[in-house]
A and B are shown apart, each in its own frame.
Chain A
């Protein structure tokens, strides 16, 4: 059984934090490929975390994964350039 609470609130909290990521003034250039690699690494981390925080359902931390998706979506939608 998938619990919707960690997914919804993880997305909201991720959006809140991800809306502040601005990379233009950064001297290390993070491209789209770098973010895809970060997402894959985060997915593996969520998978290895197991079904945390609720111990029912698939072996995947939906809170972690939804927070990661929320950060990227927040960066894409809300984060404006410097």
Chain B
């Protein structure tokens, strides 16, 4: 699986770290710029996949355990569903954008933490982007790791 090139092994971890940072940046700007949770999560997963392809699944610096992927996937899905249910119960529709001041109990400093200073208010969209990003990152990484592990399993069997 590993390519064996020293140059590849030297450069792919820094590139993976930069890709992950770019993915996080894309997630956090998804409500006012192109991109969002899916795109950012796919960029983070691409950093993981690059490391797995270059170093091999056994030597990859990003060692994602089964529990880690499971927890991230569950947190992403649960967060999305919980925000949807909040919209259903407060606004009357599933995923209704109820804003950040839910039931008038959220302090102003927390309300405006991801609020772009403009006439438009994103409300819950940035938080949905974060949960979707976590879920996509975990899901795509799990698929790539499963494929890499299956290839290793086949190679060991031959």
Binding between chains A and B: yes
On whether the beta carbons of A20 and B68 are closer than 8 Å, the reply is: yes
Residues of A1-53 whose CB lies within 8 A of B: 1, 3-6, 8-10, 13-14, 16-17, 20-23, 25-28, 30, 34, 38, 41-42, 45-46, 49, 52-53
Nearest CB in chain A: distance from B81 CB, A = 20
Also in contact, A53 and B59, with CB within 8 A (given A8-B113, A9-B114, A41-B14): no
With both beta carbons as reference points, the residue of chain B lying nearest to A56 in the complex is identified as: B117
Question: Quick check: is B44 within 8 A (CB to CB) of the other chain?
Answer: yes
**Chain A residues within 8 Å of B117, by CB:** 1, 54, 56
Also in contact, A16 and B72, with CB within 8 A (given A10-B25, A42-B18, A67-B25): yes
With both beta carbons as reference points, the residue of chain B lying nearest to A69 in the complex is identified as: B21
On whether the beta carbons of B61 and A10 are closer than 8 Å, the reply is: no
Interface size class of B (residues with CB under 8 A): 35 or more
On whether the beta carbons of B13 and A9 are closer than 8 Å, the reply is: no
Binding site for B on A (CB under 8 A): 1, 3-6, 8-10, 13-14, 16-17, 20-23, 25-28, 30, 34, 38, 41-42, 45-46, 49, 52-54, 56, 61, 63-64, 67-68, 71, 82
Binding site for A on B (CB under 8 A): 6, 9-10, 13-14, 17-18, 20-22, 24-25, 27-29, 32-33, 44, 55, 58-59, 61-65, 68, 72, 113-117, 126, 130, 133-134, 137
